[in-house]
Amino acid sequence: MIGGAIRERRLPVVRRADDHGFGQLLQRLAAYLPEEDLQGIVEAYDFAAKAHAGQHRRSGEPYISHPIRVAEIIAGLYLDAGSIKAALLHDVLEDTPATLEEIKAHFGDDVAHLVDGVSKLDKLRFDSAAEAQAESFRKMVLAMVQDLRVVLVKLADRTHNMRTISALPREKQRRIARETLEIYAPIANRLGIYSLKVELEDLGFRTLYPFRYRVLERALRRARGTQRQPLRRIEERFVDELAAAGIKARVTGREKHLYSIYKKMLRKHVHLNEIVDVFGIRIVVQDVDTCYRVLGLAHQLYKPMPGRFKDYIAIPRVNGYQSLHTTLFGPNGVPLEVQIRTEEMDKIAERGVAAHWQYKAVDKRTYSTEQRAREWLAGLMEMQHSANSEEFLEAVKVDLFPDKVYVFTPKGDIMRLPRGATAVDFAYAVHTDVGNRCVAAKIDRRLVPLKTTLANGQTVEIITARAARPNPNWVNFVATAKARNAIRAYLKNLRRDEARELGRRLLSQALRPYSMSLRRLPKDRIDALLAELGVKDMAALYEQLGLGERLAPVVAGMLAQDGGDASEVAGRRKPLEIAGTEGLVVNYARCCYPIPGDEIVGFMSSGRGIVIHRTTCGNLAEYRKQPSKWIPVDWKSNVEGEFLSEIQVRTLDRVGLLAEVAGRISATKTNIDHVRVDTEGDASALLFRLKVKDRKQLAQVLRSIRTIPGVVRVMRSTG
């Protein structure tokens, strides 16, 4: 056998009397790596040991012991020599004078890339610890998109740090444990590396909630004692029945790990004794066909529990995990979960994407977990383009947790989405352009609202229109990070375009009193202005003007230079005309609800653009303290769209009056956006928020309500 041949080889000599366990690591690596790789690994160890010489961890151990332990974890995943070298060298850039160029010179670009990807950004300055963590995470993600081994080394590094975390101050322990549970354990799960996921979760749980951990561990130890004998008898019965059926299989007992039990107790609000799948049986066979044969045999031995069967072979989990899960009524009616899988599936379940470096799947029905990881990383790349570091980190946290909803495209392809995903999430999962242009959805051939939550097994079809664009309200109900970031990115760009157009109009209006126009401005004057303001071009200046970050009259005065008396110029300013189609950079105040026909005034609000108020608004007194931010505005003659307005109706309290008032409003073809009712004794106050086109339509609404018996007074709300 290969293993025997390897044991007869001479291992490279480790040139240190105290190797801190490196010799044992080398013996382990010799079991699967070729001899020529081992010498390079010894050289990496020597380089790291020399770089870390004299350094110690908080626990008092020589620092080099940490890289060796990380390399041992990597060896447990059977990764290649480059990964082992990177594990041994992963801290030299951060904690020693060694440079990236030195690593490249000694070990090549491949190892240098891995080490650089794992290293933290501690040499850069950030505004906050949160930003530093987020930027470091973004760097790691971008590196692992190019090479998945980066994140595998990082996970091994975090695992050993968690094993030795007790040497740190308590507050730092809690912060690192929370980060482990929120980011690193879910990443291990998403990549299908069950062994690291379980250890990271249990170590994080023990550190973050030590009392809960001890209580649960004690209770589980007691339960384990009572379950040991019955479980052994069940295993023996399965072994006998499988042998009788001529099926070669490996049967083992399995136990749900502590953090998984804890999360299930929280999620379902149940006690430990109510969780049915704490203990179970795992059956590993040779091929997929035998999995289904064993499933039938299991259902003959013990009756299956209705609704508790899951086929993760036909429809794998998002991380590539495949297995058959069924829950049976065991002896004395005790629930028993049975997992049935092939040897390949078992290896992938333990090592996930790391298994790719050891073997290729033989059975074509075994889904490539590496392909899953690549798809996920491609999605992360798309997200990171449209968010800053902290937004990206939060988006990834949302995206990390396993999906539970499986739906179908009209062509029968399976789409995997998180629980709570909507038709809009589905549209963006198909393609960003489909999401941006979707106008309606069909679920099982029936038209449904876009915010409809999807359920397992549904067939979803998205209807698009070329001129459609995302609705800002979608952000409030989408469940996937991809959809949320795509909507925000589109709206951000849309808002930027609208701000530039508004800014151009504002500056053009502000230049008229100086008898100047944008078209006739000399280039040297524009260049001088941009240099003085520190703005790269006129498009950026228009954007700042449109968003209210600069004031158009001030910029116009700078361009005009000797344009005369400021008050005289202000008196000659013509109002900016509002058409109602300006989009996100013209906002209508919610205190006074201006509508076409009202006398209005505009207030430049930094970051929001122009906020339109009625001239009778009660809040204007506060704003008048900043006269430079006011601009004259007026309605265009052909204003488009509907505008919110608010009316108050005082009535005598009688049955059916609210319905009658609402009916009169509807009869004028006016939509009701919101209604509120306040009752005092035998009188009521009704507040309606309506969507109207102009003052004429609002007057029609008020007239129709006044004639209703029992209405005492009806009026428009004022700010």
Q: Identify the sign of the CA torsion 56, 62, 63, 69.
A: negative
Q: Using alpha carbons, list the distances in angstroms from residue 410 to 130, 170, 403, 430, 466.
A: 43, 54, 21, 12, 20
Q: Using alpha carbons, list the distances in angstroms from residue 221 to 201, 258, 271, 645.
A: 19, 11, 15, 65
CA–CA–CA angle 13, 14, 18 (5° rounding):
145
Helix (H, G, I), strand (E, B) or coil at 508: helix
Q: In this structure, how many other beta carbons lie within 10 angstroms of the beta carbon of residue 451?
A: 16
Q: Using alpha carbons, list the distances in angstroms from residue 445 to 422, 425, 448, 624.
A: 16, 18, 9, 57
- Unique residue bearing structure tokens 């539970």: 404
In what helix (H) or strand (E) does residue 703 lie, and over which residues does it extend? helix 695-706
Sorted by sequence, the CB contacts under 8 Å of residue 667 that are 6+ apart come out as 704
Q: What is the DSSP string of 543-570?
A: HHHHTTSS-HHHHHHHHHSS---HHHHH
- Unique residue bearing structure tokens 């109900």: 477
Q: What is the DSSP string of 269-334?
A: T--GGG-TTSEEEEEEESSHHHHHHHHHHHHHHSPBPTT--EETTTS--TT----EEEEEE-GGG-
Tokens linked to 632:
């004259």
Closest to 298 in 3D by CA, of 315, 276, 318, 282: 282
Tokens linked to 277:
């799948």
> What φ, ψ does residue 408 adopt, rounded to 5°?
-120, 145
Q: In what order do the strands lie in the sheet with 438-443?
A: 446-448, 438-443, 460-464
Q: What is the DSSP string of 107-145?
A: HHHHHHHHHHHHS--TTS--SSHHHHHHHHHHHHHHHHH
Please check whether residue 558 is in contact with residue 507, taking contact to mean a CB–CB distance below 8 angstroms.
no
Closest to 438 in 3D by CA, of 413, 412, 474, 405: 474
Quick one: DSSP state of residue 62? B
Positions annotated as catalytic residues are 94-95
For β-strands 576-578 and 633-635, DSSP reports them as: parallel
CA 210/CA 233 separation, integer angstroms: 35
Q: What is the DSSP string of 601-616?
A: EEEEETTTEEEEEETT
Instruction: Tell me the helices (H) and strands (E) count for the chain, helix number first.
Output: 28, 20
Tokens linked to 674:
């919101």
Quick one: DSSP state of residue 457? T
